[in-house]
Structure 1
Amino acid sequence: MSRIVSALVAVLATVASALLSTPGTAAAAGADITCTPPSSASLLFDPPATNYPQDMTLTVSRQYGPCVSATRPDITSGHSTATGTASGKTCLSLLGANALTIPITWNTGETSVLSGNNVSSLAGAGLTVVTTGTVTSGVFAGATFVHTIVYPSTNVLLCNVGLGTLSGLYGQVVLEIITP
């Protein structure tokens, strides 16, 4: 019986050692906070985007969570919404680069304002939008961030070639705020 107990202790020690020496997957090294899917984003166009220039209202809504933070474990989720108008936009206007500000309200009621530049690219039937920059105010101020949204949508391709319209996009978000 003592050989079985000794063997069991040895196995448990090996497993515990492996777990303690393996970096956690919940938050990347150096990250103040990481939010992963099912974090999501929706982008709505009114009227729906076409391949002909038109004025439209854009509404974006982002839900962050689950979020994991070593420095602020009380922050577990957040959200951001914005509405604006755009002139002379088409489906192709979704591509390219521009400045972007993302105000986030965290589950604690605190806020962060992320300011940076985004680059949008279309690969296959997916539109990827990567925004990088700095947290300019609020929680995590001074840190840098990477905000990635992947919108899977064949409607983007169809709209770009004039075979349909685009009323909205729905995708998954990964947000990482990193201490400098």
Structure 2
Amino acid sequence: MPSEIREPAYPVPGDLDDERFRWLFDYWRARHRDGKLPGREHIDPLDFPQLLGRLYLVEVVREGGRLRFWFRLWGSRIRGIFGHDHTGHWLEEIAAPGTLADIEAALSACTLEARPFFWRRPMMVESAEYAATRRLVLPLAADGKTVDMLLGLIIEDWRELPSQM
């Protein structure tokens, strides 16, 4: 990555330990220009084909003083983790029971604060394989300032299998 990247003005979580999170985070930071956020047009999926199945893209819709989140893309790998495709749906249509407020708060914080958001969520759907997911959400802004899209990366935490005695 270019050496002119300055340290971010926001904390970088210690849990951002997976190289895929770090790579996407550094890629996003490298696309900032003159202190402005990158827009969707600055992100080229051909630069990271290895991550495509784990990515999601959310359009931020401002409606009557309220933020709404429309899933424009939901990667094939994360579709496999959750068992369904969120592409073409509003957040409130697809959130698992009891999760809407937390997910909406995370996406809203990323949008309103114009900074990355990272968190770990336990699996809310029955899964024999996965205990949780870790998520990185990066703000994008066509005008460099007002967040209008969110780029997310999801990596699953595998459930530990009981040891065989």
Structure 2 length as normaliser, TM-score? 0.40
Larger helix fraction of residues? 2
Structure 1 length as normaliser, TM-score? 0.38
